[in-house]
Every structure is written in C-alpha cells, then in structure tokens.
Amino acid sequence: MRSLPSYPARFPLLLVLVWAIFVLPSVVLASGTPDHDASANSHPSYAGGPPQLEKAKGESCIRETEWMRRNHMDFLKHRRAETVRQGVRIRSESLLKCAECHQSHEKFCDQCHGYVSASPDCFECHVYPK
C-alpha cells in the first residue's frame, strides 16, 4: 500500500492554493473591469436619457408623485394581500382607477419598467382598462 506524501512533498501544492485564493483575484480585479455604463448608454431607445412618461389626465395622484415613484410597488402589493385575504376594498384607490388618469399602460407603466428592466406580471391577469 502506497503511503501519503510527507509534508515537504505537499508544500508546493499548498503554496499554489494560497496564491490562487488570495493573490490571483486581486490581480484580476486591479487589471480593470469592463465598462458597463458605456454599453447601457449605447442602447438605442434610451440614448436620450430616462424615458418620458405620458402626462396623467387628472389633477393629482392619490399620493404625492415623489412618494408614488418610490413606493407604488410596495403599495400595490400590500393592498393586494389586504384585498384578497381580508376583503379590504377601497373603491377610490382600486387598481382599475389608475387607468382613469394614466390612460396608456404602454406609455406610462411600461416606459419605466423597460428602462430599469423590471418585469412585474400584474397585468398578465389583471385588466388595465383602455
């Protein structure tokens, strides 16, 4: 039966492992990363900056515009659970009411979602009235 190699024989292997784990990654990182920003800006549809959204029809949203921009997804999801499971229905703030002011899903919702590459699937099932 062959015995295991003694410590001096294994030493070079350990040295290579330590080098591969600690030294190699730092060398690779320091050599520079590919420029992601340049490739994003070269996308044809967003070359002129962020998307321009269609103006809403009504005078004001049910919440501040700034707040809606940041929180509409949590707002909708929270309401979704409350409505389905506890039967809470706030008729003036239902999902169908959004379409009274933001009349085009394509020119409003889809613009930003496409820009930030978010793909919520709400409207696979829910109807966005036209």
| Interaction mask 90-119, another protein, x per CB under 8 A | xxx---x-----------------------
* Minimum CB distance to another protein, residue 94 (Å): 9
Residue with tokens 């979602």: 113
What is the C-alpha end-to-end distance of the chain, expressed in Å? 81
Say whether residue 78 binds another protein (CB under 8 A). Answer: no
Two tokens, residue 38:
């340049």
Say whether residue 87 binds another protein (CB under 8 A). Answer: yes
Nearer to another protein, 116 or 127 (CB): 127
Provide the CA 11 distance to its chain's centre, in angstroms.
Answer: 47
- Residues contacting another protein: total by CB under 8 A: 18
Say whether residue 58 binds another protein (CB under 8 A). Answer: no
Residues of 67-93 as b/e, b for ≥16 C-beta within 10 angstroms?
Answer: eeeeeeeeeeeebeeeeeeeeeeeeee
Please report, as ranges, the residues that interact with another protein according to CB under 8 A: 80-81, 84-92, 96, 121, 124-127, 129
